Structure 1
């Protein structure tokens, strides 16, 4: 039997689709399709996107190595410097991650060109998702594609790709595309309020007449009505005998827009799994915990997976990995943070200098672990235990062994 697995059919020809063509199709198929710019005009949506993007941008990325079953942080690696500080491009590390997060949420994904020299990564270059198009095959199993930017073809491994709810590995689905109806309601409510402000709160309606009007009278009436709704100095229309204005719309109060605005804001927060208090103010510790656990963590895992796939060498995969350091999120509450350090120090899994390092303080050279005399230390491998207060060792079912110069009081 032939030892290599082959495709049943020859490789399909790649066809091209672009961002502008996708936008044109959406416009033709759905007149009310929401765009990214329209969605970002909705205050609750923009607040959620900015909150997530700004938080993600401030979280440092660490590189770890698995050595003999233990994790060690890789210091001074060029890739972590590019991600956290200087990308080698016009954007710094914070701006770079913020732009990727915004495109991840509101576009087809976050993309960045990886500028390599051999196996070394020299710089990372953010590319707007609107500049990205694809050449891809129609094969649903063996997916293959090329990335096109202004007519230049690139291979997938040349780009860092952070995609939301992707099904093809080349582009994702934004929050805007998946929830256009909810966002459309909020956007059109905003446009209705804008119209009310521009027209001075004047209602729409029609004019009833007891007799037929001439064309000249109708033309003059239309001009006067247009001036009324332009909110200029002429805000009065005189209706002669036989003319009556009939309202044909409701005010914002009658439509309960203020109540609906609050409801729409809460519904938009649900799209991001974000507690509404995180953008409205008055958030509790539980809200902050839920924000990190249910909103941020899934996005950070997407980032980590993309970094491991695109920035690690094949020889490094399996032993090296990138991880977001979310401990920075706890630095806002100093009292809570110091209580956590106290517990860690008392229980012996953090040393004094390790705590000072986390607080960006110089080490004191205190290389020891604090232990209490009341503790009994047990080694599960040798099945031996040590009692510090007696300075004695022993095993299960054995009498404690005396140290040199020590006696054990058996009374």
Structure 2
């Protein structure tokens, strides 16, 4: 009895599998479960391409700087080969801007971005962007003590040979991109674009069917089909002659056709949510305000910058340097488009003794003024403090005071 039971169960399971296979084949033929989308297809979606272009360009345009912290004092290092490779020339065919831009695009779409660090005798000579599709990971199986090798074009490299920018990674060597995490939404939007493309190719002609009072002969049917094909092919023949007894009945518009424009707006907003960008910035309707830009910078740009700097600090600094050196970025470059906002920020920085006049002029690519060399304004708009010799000079009275003690009444020329 048990044998009969299991035999019957096996037959039922076989029938069920056949039914599922037949249903899957039917849905595939109808294009209803085609949820795969490539990188090229994803970039055909206008809103997605706009978001990727905006984020990657902004991140790539921000200069990377090097600092040294010693005795609780931070000093900017300006002469270092790594700064030149990251901000100017990579030593490769790509410029630094193009390298960082390509890196961020791979990061956003595929979840992984790689830059090869070319060293000779331990010294960094050049940086080389490597396409994400050209990189393979050979990992171990230990979930705790994780380790891996990087394979490129048949060659095996160690992780420290690359600057790695990984998105939503849970293992340190492989990330998840926008396409993989949102494949259903992007497939729906891309298929909507393909549907719209079909409508444009057919000239917007409505679908329908021909009703005949009598049976058509083979020759008449072939002639009618040929005329129909010509009309939908967007050529010069755009008229069909229906003989007596033939009537064209237009099929009703589907909900997809009726809501095509509404869906495009909704889908665009959904994509903006994925990238944490306010839709007003991408729409180009002029409704974006300063608050929208600030939100985009904090939610879309800042996390990528922090991740990039963390990766650069890990892979470009020597172990002995990590105690006192670190890389950072200068986000002030993003404010250069708004001169009023920029100069108000400078005014606040000078008044609150955060920056000196010459520091501001340096950021604006202007020559320093000798009068303000190594000085910051203390107040009354006329008091100058020399940060090197700790003296205060008041031009109104032509007096110099030493903060360490005593007063020097000599004029400034005799200093």
- Which interval holds the TM-score relative to the shorter structure? 0.7 to 0.9
Structure 1 match to 2:228: 225
Q: Deviations over 1:119-178 (max 9, x none)?
A: 311000111111112222233222222222222222211111111111222221111111
Q: Residues 69-115 of structure 1, C-alpha deviation per residue, up to 9 Å, x if partnerless?
A: 22211111111110100000000111111111111111241111110
Question: Pick from 292, 300, 325: which aligns with 1:320?
Answer: 325
Query: In structure 2, how many angstroms separate the alpha carbons of the residues matched to 1:63 and 1:33?
Result: 43
| Post-superposition offset of 1:402 | 10
Q: What residue number does 1:303 align with?
A: 308
Going from structure 1 to structure 2, the CA distance change for 1:392 and 1:111 (only over 3 Å counts) comes to closer
Calculate the aligned-residue CA RMSD, in Å: 2.8
Alignment gaps of 5+ in structure 2: 1-27, 382-391, 410-415
Distance 1:265 1:156 in 2: 37
Question: What is the Cα deviation at residue 32 of structure 1?
Answer: 2.3
Please point out which of 350, 355, 358 is paired with 1:350: 355
Change (3 A) 1:305 1:209: same
Asked if 1:109 corresponds to 2:112, the answer is yes
Aligned to 1:86: 89
| Residue aligning to 2:379 | 372
Distance apart, 1:36 and its partner CA: 1.0
- TM-score normalised by the chain length of structure 1: 0.81
Q: Name the structure with the higher helix share.
A: 2
> Compared with structure 1, are the counterparts of its residues 330 and 404 closer, same or farther at alpha carbon in structure 2 (3 Å cutoff)?
closer
1:221–1:284 distance in 2 versus 1, CA, 3 Å: same
Contact 2:111 2:168 in 1 (8 A): no
- Counterpart of 1:363? 368
Write the distance in 1 (CA, Å) between the matches of 2:158 and 2:408: 70
* SS of match in other structure, 1:237: coil
Aligned-partner SS, 1:362: coil
- Structure 2 residue aligned with 1:274: 277
SS in 2 for 1:327: helix
CA distance in 1, matches of 2:101, 2:174: 19
* Stretches of structure 1 lacking an aligned partner (at least 5 in a row): 1-26, 375-385, 394-400, 406-411
Q: With the length of structure 2 as denominator, give the TM-score of the two structures.
A: 0.80
**C-alpha spacing 1:220/1:317, structure 2 compared with 1 (3 Å):** same
Q: Is the 8 A contact 2:401 2:408 kept in 1?
A: no
1:24 alignment partner in structure 2: none
CA drift of 1:373 comes to: 6.0
Aligned positions, number: 358
Flag the 1:214–1:84 CA change in 2: closer, same or farther, 3 A: same
Structure 2 match to 1:19 = none
Partner of 1:170: 173
CA deviation string 1:343-383 (max 9, x = no partner): 22122221111111111111112122211369xxxxxxxxx
Q: Which digits, 9 at most, give the CA deviation of each residue in 1:268-302, with x for residues without a partner?
A: 11110001122223221101111111110011111
Q: Secondary structure at the residue paired with 2:247?
A: strand
1:63 alignment partner in structure 2? 66
